[in-house]
Chain A
Amino acid sequence: MHIRRFAGRAAALLFACLPAASLANAQENVLQIRAHEVVLPDGSRLEDAVVVLENGKIRSVGEEHADPELPLVECDGVLTPGLIACQTASGAAGETTDSTRQLLPEARIVHAFEPDHPDFEKALAAGITTVVLAPSEWNLAGGLTAVVKTHGGEVLSSEGHLALSFSSRALAGGAQAVSFGFGAAEADPHLEATDGGLENTASGRRGNRPPTSYGGAVALLTERLGDTDGVFARAAKGKLPVYLAAWDRNEVLRAVQFATRHHLKGLLRGAPLAGDERLVGPIRESGLGVVLGPFALGQRPRSLESVKRLQDAGVPVGFALGAPARHPETFRWSGAMAVAEGADPAKVLDSMTATAARLAGVDERVGTIAVGKDADLVLWSGDPLDLSSSVEAVFVDGELVYRKEAR
């Protein structure tokens, strides 16, 4: 095997021209990668270090010398863990909202996971190796999120979080769309049958009608947290993290207070102004993480600043992808824009990797370049938050699954 080094200012990716057979010559499924910089779990960078992958896992990090017997990939750029998006609807467009009922807490979005969908290829090409598929904010209790890899179809978790919505969209949409009494069979035992359309809701019987007000939603969710079994019960006991969608600041505060009151773990999603000085304190005290973005060009500075403010306060931050409505490339744009507005680049990168993995509940498997973790790695031609750099190669479970096409 020859190692050819290509000179040039642009980061060059070196590949040994590896016929498949040559792999077999070496130890089983072992690969070495040497990058100019390797991002370590604590955010620091190791220079010219070698990372060794074996059987889809990371075997070692930080060797100085590569084993000449083994295949080696050399790159003048930066090696990071595969990026992790804490929200997306990749391959599941139209599957994230149910318009027949407001509450479908036991529904699992993992059933909408289509591994071969082109959305995942695009995500992969943008360096994203793991995503959280999440129900939308249009249902009050939209169901259970799923954490999946963008290549290979592995489901890391089919019940990641219980998605609840504190957004006004969960109220406005539900009240009108749901009919009652005329055939909408409601299997949920917690909701009473109605006694017909005309009879007035005398003296306050709400029946099985979904709430139309913020207060009504809070009351209903509070009631459900008292369930003796089911996903609400698990969330109430802290065994299942929650995924709270909220947009306006009063919605965010309401969600945070709800979580604090009931000792729920999990994260907030949306919350463009979560960095408001009046919200940072309550969010930190609640222990919730916050998933922000995706940011668009022209995103207001106050919104971009939220990343910095939350991170400075020690609140775990992740980023949303918003595919397929948003192109996966905008994922790291969100991070770059946050950095431009003052966020610490190392923390932002961490928010796309290690912290994101923690928020998704899969940090034992992915999110950092550490021994024993899945070998989900991305080789960048330069710093990942530098928008002029690009993805050179992506590895998932130790396999090279994407390589930037040569011009």
Chain B
Amino acid sequence: MYATLSPLLVAASILGLGAASSAQDGPDDWVVEADMIYTAAGDPIEDGRVVVSDGKIAALGGSGSGDTLRVTAVTPGFVDLGISIDTGALSVEQTTETAITSRVADSLDLFSYRWTRALRHGVTTALASPADYDVIGGLCTVLKTGGGSDLASREVKADACLRASLGPQPSTGNRTPSPFGEVSIYTRRPTTRMGVEWVFRKAYYDALNAKRFGLEATPEQEAGFEVLAKTLRGELPVIVRTVATQDVHTAAFLKQEFGIPRMILADAAEAWKEADLVKACGAAVLLPPAPREGRVKDRFANDTYLFALDAAARFHELGVPIALTGHATADPEATLARQAGLAMRGGLPFEAALEAVTIAPARMVGVDDRVGSIEVGKDADLVLWNGTPFELTSRVVGVILDGHLVLDPRAASGDDE
């Protein structure tokens, strides 16, 4: 009674994922030919060719062994610093609000289907962060979204940055003590935004002044001081979640107070309101996915924040480093590629949109030596398109990760571009 399924099923077959070793089904050598190759490292190459060998980009142009894949456009694999694939509350150590030495690497679920989904949508490198239930959640890890089942084979950079959160989220769940209530580890400060700021400031204050005031510190605390010292030396960037305008203010002031050289404002939906301040203090900005309407309700506070579609364009004009972020859900409207398109809709030029999802985030966390652009010697992470990238009329039809073809453009060969 039902129609037989058209051969145009877009089957989500992932090739080559899962085997811990590098012995995959397909060959590791590929030649990708495209009408346009957007390298994010200079002018795009027309009618170009990318030669992939041994997991790296071997050459641009010229010939290579391996099968040929012919597509319309190629971009570098996307880098998403705000992808939020974490184990929720289990990824962040809440016994202390400043879990500085906690490593999210130990709490990852690499079996989650969301990694596969992100990969299918072109995100090849992602930053795994602890959920924002702590003021300082711990150390984040940059990893590939596909590959072996253990972190070691996927890690691009361990402990790449420190995650902090201002705003209402870290204080959610904390309670002031009451004679009737049950006491738990959540009976503590902070319970307000100012408490959150206090905790952040105290952490840095202690780190800077422990010796001076003869503070007795446990080995764990000492290790925490050392991490904060690294952020102050500029060796480790700090990513701070700042959704509302007042959080952006707070972050800017804290940056200036302690002289934190590298600070990235994450989920910074309202940062556009204080664009000049952001520029002046030298922070970088991660923009959240564009909501359908202009305002989005904050889950953790009785508050809404106002999103501006042209925020990316504005920051770009001001010269503030920006990156876009997406979500790893089934909704293709929330993918990183879609965010790039929407940023263009808000006025961001194409080249800037491309950089905002590739080399710019890579630079922010210091992995631009390996990923973020199509250059000889870098990891072979490529996204293959059947049309102009980021347009609604185009789709990601192929993905190469570390030289392995994880989404095959030839599988969807039934439909033309």
* A→B interface (CB under 8 Å): 168, 171-172, 175-182, 192, 197-207, 209-216, 218-219, 248-250, 253-254, 257, 276-279, 281-282
Which chain B residues lie closer than 8 Å to A192 at the CB level? 218
Which residues of chain B have C-beta atoms less than 8 A from A198's C-beta?
177, 187-189
Give the one of B89, B96, B110, B202 with max A CB within 10 A.
B96
CB of B183 within 8 Å of the partner chain = yes
Q: CA–CA, A218 to B150, complex, Å?
A: 16
Chain A residues near B130 (CB-CB < 8 A): 213
Query: Quick one: which of B96, B102, B185, B224 has the most chain A CB within 10 A?
Result: B185
Contact call A203/B224, Cβ cutoff below 8 A: yes
- Nearest Cβ distance between residue A310 and chain B, in whole angstroms? 16
Given A214-B90, A216-B93, A278-B111, check contact A205 B220 (CB 8 Å): yes
Residues of B within 8 A of A200 (CB): 97, 188-190, 199, 202
Report yes or no: B106 in contact with A219, Cβ–Cβ below 8 A: yes
Are B94 and A175 in contact, with the CB atoms below 8 A? yes
Q: For B111, what are the chain A residues with a Cβ–Cβ distance below 8 Å?
A: 248-250, 253, 276, 278
A-B contact count (CB 8 A): 152
B293 touches A (CB below 8 Å): no
B89 with A212: CB separation less than 8 A: yes
Which residues of chain B (181-215) have a CB below 8 Å from chain A?
Answer: 182-190, 199, 202-203, 206-207
Chain B residues engaging chain A, CB cutoff 8 angstroms: 18-20, 87, 89-112, 130, 138, 148-150, 177, 182-190, 199, 202-203, 206-207, 217-218, 220-221, 224-225
User: With contacts A201-B188, A209-B185, A250-B109 known, what are 7 further pairs, Cβ within 8 A?
Assistant: A201-B98, A202-B203, A202-B206, A205-B96, A205-B221, A213-B106, A278-B148
Q: How far is the CA of A281 from the CA of B202 in the complex (A)?
A: 46
Closest residue of chain A to B89 (Cβ to Cβ) is: A212
Contact pick for B91, options A179, A204, A214, CB 8 Å: A214
Provide a sorted-by-A list of 14 A–B residue pairs whose CB atoms are within 8 angstroms.
A179-B183, A200-B188, A200-B189, A200-B190, A202-B203, A203-B206, A204-B203, A204-B220, A209-B185, A213-B91, A214-B106, A215-B106, A216-B93, A254-B106
Interface residues of chain B: helix, strand, loop or mixed (majority): loop
Q: Is the CB of A204 within 8 A of B189?
A: no
Residues in chain A near residue B189, CB distance under 8 A? 198, 200
Cβ of B186 to closest chain A Cβ, rounded Å: 8
Question: Roughly how many angstroms separate A213 CA and B86 CA in the complex, as a whole number?
Answer: 11
Residue of chain A at shortest CB distance from B104: A215
- Which residues in B have their C-beta under 8 angstroms from that of A181? 183
CB distance from B114 to the nearest CB of A (A): 12
Does B101 lie within 8 Å of A204, measured CB to CB?
yes
- Please pick, from A211, A249, A257, A278, the residue contacting B20 in the complex, using a CB distance under 8 A: A278
**CA–CA, A281 and B20, complex, Å:** 8
Known: A203-B225, A281-B20. A216 touches B187 (CB 8 A): no
B149 to chain A, nearest CB (A): 3
Q: Which of B87, B109, B149, B217 contacts A278 (CB 8 A)?
A: B149
When distances are taken between beta carbons in the complex, the residues of chain A under 8 Å from B20 are 278, 281-282
Chain A residues whose C-beta falls within 8 Å of the C-beta of B90 in the assembled complex: 168, 171-172, 212-214
Contact (Cβ within 8 A) B93 A215: yes
Please name all residues of chain A whose beta carbon is closer than 8 Å to the beta carbon of B206 when the two chains form the complex: 202-203
Which chain A residues border B221 with CB–CB below 8 Å? 203-205
CA distance A270 to B20 in the complex (A): 23
* CA gap between A179 and B185 in the complex, in Å: 7
- Given A179-B182, A200-B188, A214-B87; A207-B106 close (CB under 8 Å): no
- B93:A203 contact, CB within 8 angstroms: no
| B22 CB, min distance to chain A CBs, angstroms | 13
Task: Establish whether residues B149 and A206, one from each chain, have CB atoms under 8 Å apart when the complex forms.
Answer: no
CB contact under 8 A between A176 and B103, given known A212-B89, A214-B90, A281-B20: no
Considering only CB atoms, which chain A residue lies closest to B177 in the complex?
A197
A81 to chain B, nearest CB (A): 36
Of B87, B92, B187, chain A has the most CB atoms within 10 Å of the CB of B87
Give chain B nearest CB distance to A253 CB in angstroms. 7
Report the separation of the CA atoms of residues A207 and B190 in the bound assembly, to the nearest whole angstrom. Answer: 18
CA distance A234 to B117 in the complex (A): 44
Find the B residue at minimum CB distance from A281.
B20
Known contacts A203-B206, A203-B221, A203-B224; A213/B102 CB under 8 A: yes
B107, B150, B207: the one within 8 Å of A282 (CB): B150
Q: In the bound complex, what is the Cα–Cα distance between A257 and B106 (angstroms)?
A: 10
Give the residue of B87, B99, B150 whose beta carbon is less than 8 angstroms from that of A204: B99
Whether A204 pairs with B89 at a CB distance below 8 angstroms is no
**Contact, CB under 8 Å: B96 / A204:** yes
Task: Take A200-B189, A253-B149 as given contacts and tell me if A212 and B93 are in contact as well, using a CB distance cutoff of 8 Å.
Answer: yes
